[in-house]
Structure 1
Amino acid sequence: MKKDRYIYPAVFDYADDGISIFFPDLPGCFSCADTDEEAIYMAKEALGLHLYGMEEDGDDVPVPTTINKINLESHQVVVLVEVLMPIVREAVENFSVKKTLSIPQWLNKLAIDNNINFSQVLQSALKEHLGIRERH
């Protein structure tokens, strides 16, 4: 079941070359940073994208471990990271993807001469073709 808000513990692992970030409950969810501020930002981004992928794949999202159950080394700290999934979902779903297409040269020239925005025209045509009235 999709939730709108998740809070997971992240482990910030400090080393001479920066901060490594991992989530004990989410294997494969990693990031890194140079500063604490950047680490928090990167942790939120990694967590949001990882959970989004799990939701899309239909994976069970595990219950977060409580902070007092996480074993740390001397150069590690636990940071609680919160993500608001409606924001993540909207950002991912509205991310523009580049498409390569082919049109006749004469049509390309005519469109350029008329200052046509190819992306806008393609989006409008696809929405019309699919019967979409509003953004999905």
Structure 2
Amino acid sequence: MKYVYPAIFTPDGNGYSVEVPDLPGCFTCGDSLADAIDMARDAISMWLCDAEDKSEPIPLPSNIKDIPHAANSFVNLIDVDTDFYRKENDNRAVKKTLTIPSWLNAKAEKANINFSQVLQAALKEHLGIQDRP
């Protein structure tokens, strides 16, 4: 599902603190404005995914003009896509069946090779994907 929620950004001396008033308990922060926006998108996505998983009601977003905020703060809209977020953050193992020559299997087993680990590393290298921090 795609959503758009207003978030309040407040400079805090070390970056920005962020509050999403429509989602109770949804707070985050970032070292820079770009980081704070990214962290807000992540926090909102997690909040909404949790609510979706529990079949809880999803609050309607407020009108950006109706969000009260301090003079040194500003309100910005944050878009999220929970389907995309789930795909990007789903680390569940998926079983795959593959075929390799018997001689290669024997050598790999003798060397105590972790097939899953080697396949993951090879796929990441082939696809140009770096490990996440």
Q: What TM-score, normalized by structure 1, do the two folds share?
A: 0.68
From 111, 114, 120, give the equivalent of 1:113: 111
8 Å CA contact 1:18–1:32 kept in 2: the answer is yes
Give the share of equivalent positions with the same residue, in percent.
30
Q: Residue type matched to 2:48 in 1?
A: L
How many correspondences in the alignment? Answer: 105
Residue type of the alignment partner of 1:32? C
Distance 1:75 1:112 in 2: 64
Q: Give the Å deviation of 1:114.
A: 4.7
- 1:17 Cα deviation (Å)? 2.6
| Matched residue SS, 2:60 | coil
Give distance in 2, aligned partners of 1:6 and 1:77: 20
Shift in alpha-carbon separation, 1:112–1:7, aligned structure 2, 3 A: farther
Residue ranges of structure 2 left out of the alignment (5+ in a row):
94-107, 120-133
Query: In the alignment, is the contact (CA less than 8 A) between 1:48 and 1:85 conserved in 2?
Result: yes
- The reply on whether 1:53 has 2:59 as its aligned counterpart is no
Q: Is residue 16 from structure 1 mapped to residue 13 from structure 2 by the alignment?
A: yes
Measured on the aligned residues, the alpha-carbon RMSD in Å equals 2.2
Residues of 2 paired with 1:18 and 1:73: CA distance? 16
| 8 Å CA contact 1:15, 1:75 repeated in 2 | no
CA 1:12 to 1:112, structure 2 compared with 1: closer, same or farther past 3 Å? farther
1:117 to 1:86, Cα distance in 2 relative to 1, 3 A: same
Could you tell me the TM-score, scaled by structure 2's length? 0.70
Q: Is 1:95 paired with 2:91?
A: yes
Gaps of 5+ in 1: 98-109, 122-136
